Amino acid sequence: MTRLLLTGNAAAAWGARLADVDYIPAFPITPQTEIIETLGGWIDDGAMEGRMVTLESEHSMITAAGAAAATGVRVFSATSSQGLLHAMEMLYTVAGWRAPFVLVNVSRGLSAPITLGADHNDVLAARDCGFLQIHCADCQEVLDSVLLAYRMAEDPAIRLPVLVNLDGFHLSFTREPVALPEPAAVRQFLPPFDAQGIRFTASAPESQAVAVLGGRPYSYFRYENHLAALKAVEIYQQVATEFSSLFQRQWDAVESYRSDDAEIVFYMMGSFATTARAAVDCLRDAGQNIGLVRPRLLRPFPGAAIAELLAGKLGVIVIDQNLSMGLGGVLYHELIASMYGRAAAPEVITSFIGGLGGRDISAEEFYEMVNVTRQAIATGDIPPPRLLYTENELREIRKLQAIAQVERAETSPAVQPNDQVNDQGVPRD
């Protein structure tokens, strides 16, 4: 086994290389571009077989990926942020085609305003499109998840595309030691794609057209997609167990960290969960029974596993690195819905919005969230969802706003005393 110091982007590229992908339709966007640059360099140098084609947009890129996968070849692609949204129409389409391939998304906050920092609004906007979703917390998990994703996507009982998500900059450009599986072992875990009769050759063309359907047959096919996605909960765990036996790394659908005897647990996903683990350790050292539960598989939603891990807890602290405008955090509301009516559901579930646009979540904020939740447990008064934000940050923002107002006033044309103005003081023409 070889260990290399890899960024999250390089780890994703290594996952595609070890999977022996045949076709890579690509379009660059920050902070994903390093993935396709790395793959392109390997192909140019002869270190990797396969064909890369740069398309004119993410919409065309996903169209090409779905079309190629429908012919029975193994396909890989990657995108980020606005690029994922530009592809949104085709995400639904290729999932409806039951085209099995892997798409890596390097999460980045959506405009406006524009940011290069990570949050999860881009990937969560795609949660209902039919792609399965795996969310990663470190670079090793990125590489391994690409391999797991192909096993799920190509399983005859599923045959759906899979999206593997990593946080932009926090993972995409962070270097960590990553163990590279031996290619022979990977081929044992992930043999060549068996398309089971799906093929396309120029000498024997075959139409795979999609018909225009009415409501009754349309409902049937959409529900069949849903049932296939549900099967992925069980199949994912089987695949993860097989992966563990070969590579000694276990990636369960839901991560549990020191949560068995915990009174209160953090519930979150993505790279900030590594900061949460450190906070859990510090709180444990201080005598507090705190743990962490992290959904790795978000679609399909592993509700039974999550409910089992949270059963009997006094409190759950949900930290959303996203914001559904007018509602709140997506993870919070999905967790509330999934826990409704279950026996031994947690007494208190509190909601916090943090990490938008890549803003850090400090150790002190983890400690304060525990204090707030303990107070809610003691009083029964659950606070409304709140944004993680300090007084100093708010003071700095207001200072910038005040400076901007002064600058606008200095550059605006002044109204002269002899100007004619209306009752509101606005100059007349």
The whole-angstrom separation of Cα 106 and Cα 321 is 14
User: What's the pLDDT score for residue 202?
Assistant: 72
Say if residue 416's pLDDT is above 60: no
Q: Positive or negative CA dihedral for 275, 247, 153, 157?
A: negative
Report the distance separating Cα 158 and Cα 152, nearest Å. 7
CB 84 within 8 A of CB 113: no
pLDDT digits (tens, 9 = 90+) for 271-300: 999 999 999 999 999 999 999 999 999 999
CA 392 to chain centre: 30
Cα–Cα distance list, 242 to 145, 149, 201, 246, 283 (Å): 13, 13, 34, 7, 34
Q: Give the residue among 167, 99, 95 at the shortest CA–CA distance from 137.
A: 167
Q: What is the mean pLDDT of residues 232-261?
A: 96
Phi, psi (5° rounding) for residue 54?
-90, 120
Q: CB count, 10 Å around CB of 341? A: 7
In the three-class reduction of DSSP (H, G, I as helix; E, B as strand; rest coil), residue 408 is classed as helix
Mean pLDDT across the stretch 353-367?
A: 95
Cα–Cα distance measured from residue 306 to residue 315, given in angstroms and rounded to the nearest whole number: 14
Q: What is the pLDDT of residue 134?
A: 98
What confidence tier does 368 reach under pLDDT thresholds 50, 70, 90? very high
Residue 301 pLDDT = 97
Tell me the pLDDT tens digit for each residue of 162-184. 999 999 999 999 999 999 999 99
**Residue 208: its pLDDT value, please?**
67
Cβ-based neighbours of 366, under 8 Å, separated by 6 or more = 266, 275, 276, 279, 283
Cα dist. 71→63, 195, 275, 383 in Å? 13, 8, 43, 53
Between these two residues, 321 and 392, which has the higher pLDDT value?
A: 321
Q: Which helix H or strand E contains 389, and what residues bound it?
A: none
- CA atoms lying within 13 Å on the CB side of residue 32: 23
- Please provide residue 333's backbone torsions phi and psi, each rounded to the nearest 5 degrees: -70, -35
Q: How confident is the model at residue 37 (pLDDT cuts 50, 70, 90)?
A: very high
The 10 Å Cβ neighbour count of residue 410 is 8
4: left (phi over 0), alpha (psi -120 to 50) or beta: beta
pLDDT digits (tens, 9 = 90+) for 87-142: 999 999 999 999 999 999 999 999 999 999 999 999 999 999 999 999 999 999 99
**At 426, is the pLDDT very low, low, confident or very high (cuts 50, 70, 90)?**
very low
Written as six digits, the tokens of 294 are: 């992290």
Q: Which among 401, 132, 394, 174 has a CA at the least distance from the CA of 271?
A: 174
pLDDT at residue 49 in the model: 93
Distances (CA, A) of 392 to 305, 313, 370, 389: 40, 34, 21, 8
What gap in Å lies between CA 26 and CA 28, rounded to an integer?
Answer: 7
Task: Return the beta strands (E) in 121-237 as ranges.
Answer: 132-135, 162-167, 176-180
The 10 Å Cβ neighbour count of residue 303 is 17
Cα–Cα distances in angstroms (integers) from residue 94 to residues 40, 148, 214, in the given order: 24, 20, 19
CA-nearest of 270, 15, 295 to 148 is: 15
Token digits for 60? 């065309």
Per-residue confidence band for 425, with pLDDT thresholds at 50, 70 and 90: very low
First to last CA, the chain: 77
pLDDT at 42 over 60: yes
Q: In angstroms, rounded to a whole number, what is the distance separating the alpha carbons of residues 272 and 93? A: 32
pTM of this prediction exceeds 0.85: yes
- pLDDT for 189-219, tens place per residue? 999 998 887 766 777 777 666 778 888 999 9
SS3 5: strand
Give the pLDDT mean for 319-326.
96
135, 105, 134, 139: which is closest to 122 by C-alpha? 105
Q: Predicted confidence band at 38 (pLDDT cuts at 50, 70, 90)?
A: very high
Candidate from 6-20, 279-293, 389-403 with smallest mean pLDDT: 389-403
Tell me the C-alpha to C-alpha distance, in Å, between residue 362 and each of 89, 115, 279, 365: 37, 20, 9, 5
**Per-residue confidence band for 396, with pLDDT thresholds at 50, 70 and 90:** confident
